[in-house]
């Protein structure tokens, strides 16, 4: 059974009160591919950048389980095993395989997964069966015209859809999937990339929509201007605070996001020891995700 929201507020660093937590997490980079093309996404395999969509390697579920063992030995405060890339967790079966392995050996470990939500309706049953406790869905717009400016295309049902057509499919699937997994007791967190020139005035609408469908917490991530949105500006503190205030009318807002790598390990705001944990990871694949 999935951990309840109140339990997550005590044991999951993304849900804990305050800027930091003594609880840690390990991100397991087992998901190599993605099925959408976000205009802000510049993907890479490297050891130097500290941002989403980046990992030093892509590993197997078995290697991921070994990484959890090493992480818990290194830091007993690790309470969360998460899959946040470097690709989308639902495009390949490896994330759910990993959670099944981790759940058998570490039954008290919180299992946390991130996805763009395109495949969420059809994969919801497997997510629930695998015992995922917390699901993060990146929802950058709930209006197709806005979404079409953010995501160039989606690959769905063996076809690629561009512009508004692709945006309509993505939004429909995201919202249907959020409602289904939330009703099953999985805690849903929403990520939104705040892009001043595109969706800044849309944040409250997103927050209201996802809250109504059962999402419990909302995370607004400042844009890193790059790739096809390199011409856009990074949101300043005033805009970020205003967006958070608007969202808080409808849903609890997470304010201490570190924009973690897909292979991060440690406590938020504390030491990251991922290089120690993944020093033996050798299964790198040159395929990537949305950021």
Q: What one-character-per-residue DSSP string does the chain give?
A: -PPPHHHHHHH-TTTSSSS--S-EEEE---B---SEEETT---EE-SS--STTEES----HHHHHHHHHHHHHH-TTEEEEEE--BS-TTTSSHHHHHHHHHHHH-TTSEEEEEE-STTHHHHHHHHHHTT--EEEEE---SSHHHHHHHEEEEEETTEEEEHHHHHHHHHHHHHHHHHHHHHTT-EEEEEEEE-TTTTGGGHHHHHHHHHHTT--EEEEEE----GGGTTSPPPPHHHHHHHHHHHTTTSEEE-------TT-EEETTS-B-HHHHTTT-----S-----
**CATH number of residue 75's parent domain:** 3.20.20.70
Quickly count: other Cβ atoms within 10 Å of residue 122's Cβ: 12
In degrees, rounded to 5, the angle at the alpha carbon of residue 240 between the alpha carbons of residues 5 and 50 is: 75
- Per-residue pLDDT, 24: 84
- Per-residue pLDDT, 16: 61
283 in any annotated domain: no
291 in any annotated domain: no
27 in any annotated domain: yes
pLDDT tens series, the chain, 291 aa: 566 666 666 666 666 655 445 678 899 999 998 999 999 987 656 566 666 667 778 999 999 999 999 999 988 888 999 998 899 999 999 999 999 999 999 999 999 999 999 999 999 999 999 999 999 999 999 999 999 999 999 999 999 999 999 999 999 999 999 999 999 999 999 999 999 999 999 999 999 999 999 999 999 999 999 889 999 999 999 999 999 999 999 999 987 666 677 787 787 767 777 788 887 544 444 333 333
- Per-residue pLDDT, 289: 34
176 prior amide bond cis, ω within 30: no
- Per-residue pLDDT, 276: 83
286 in any annotated domain: no
267 in any annotated domain: yes
157 in any annotated domain: yes
- Give how many domains the chain has, as a whole number: 1
- Per-residue pLDDT, 57: 85
2-21: string of b/e by CB count within 10 Å (b at 16+)?
bbebeebbebbbbbbeeeeb
Per the structure, the complete domain to which residue 163 belongs is given by 5-277
Look up the pTM and report it: 0.88
- Per-residue pLDDT, 8: 64
- Per-residue pLDDT, 226: 87
- Per-residue pLDDT, 101: 97
Q: What is the mean pLDDT of the chain?
A: 87
290 in any annotated domain: no
288 in any annotated domain: no
């Amino acid at each position: 059974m999935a951990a309840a929201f109140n339990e997550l507020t005590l044991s999951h660093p993304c849900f804990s009160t305050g800027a930091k937590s003594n609880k840690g997490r390990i991100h397991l980079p087992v998901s190599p591919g993605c099925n959408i093309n976000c205009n802000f996404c510049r993907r890479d395999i490297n050891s130097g950048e500290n941002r989403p969509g980046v990992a030093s390697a892509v590993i197997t579920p078995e290697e991921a389980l070994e990484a959890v063992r090493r992480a818990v030995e290194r830091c007993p405060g690790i309470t969360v095993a998460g899959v946040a890339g470097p690709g989308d967790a639902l495009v390949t079966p490896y994330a759910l395989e990993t959670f099944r392995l981790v759940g058998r050996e570490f039954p008290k470990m919180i299992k946390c997964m991130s996805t763009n939500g395109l495949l969420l309706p059809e994969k919801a049953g497997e997510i629930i069966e695998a015992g995922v406790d917390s699901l993060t869905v990146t929802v950058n717009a709930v209006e197709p015209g806005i979404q079409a400016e953010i995501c160039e295309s989606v690959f769905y049902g063996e076809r690629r859809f561009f512009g508004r057509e692709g945006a309509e499919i993505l939004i429909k699937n995201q919202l249907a999937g959020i409602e289904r997994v939330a009703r099953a007791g999985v805690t849903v967190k929403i990520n939104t990339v705040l892009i001043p020139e595109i969706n800044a005035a849309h944040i409250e609408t997103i927050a209201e929509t996802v809250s109504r469908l059962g999402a419990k917490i909302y995370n607004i991530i400042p844009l890193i201007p790059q790739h096809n949105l390199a011409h856009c500006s990074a949101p300043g503190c005033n805009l970020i605070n205003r967006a958070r205030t608007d969202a808080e009318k409808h849903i609890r807002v997470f304010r201490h996001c570190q924009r973690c790598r897909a292979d991060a390990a440690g406590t938020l705001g504390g030491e990251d020891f991922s290089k120690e944990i993944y020093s033996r990871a050798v299964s790198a694949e040159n395929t990537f995700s949305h950021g």
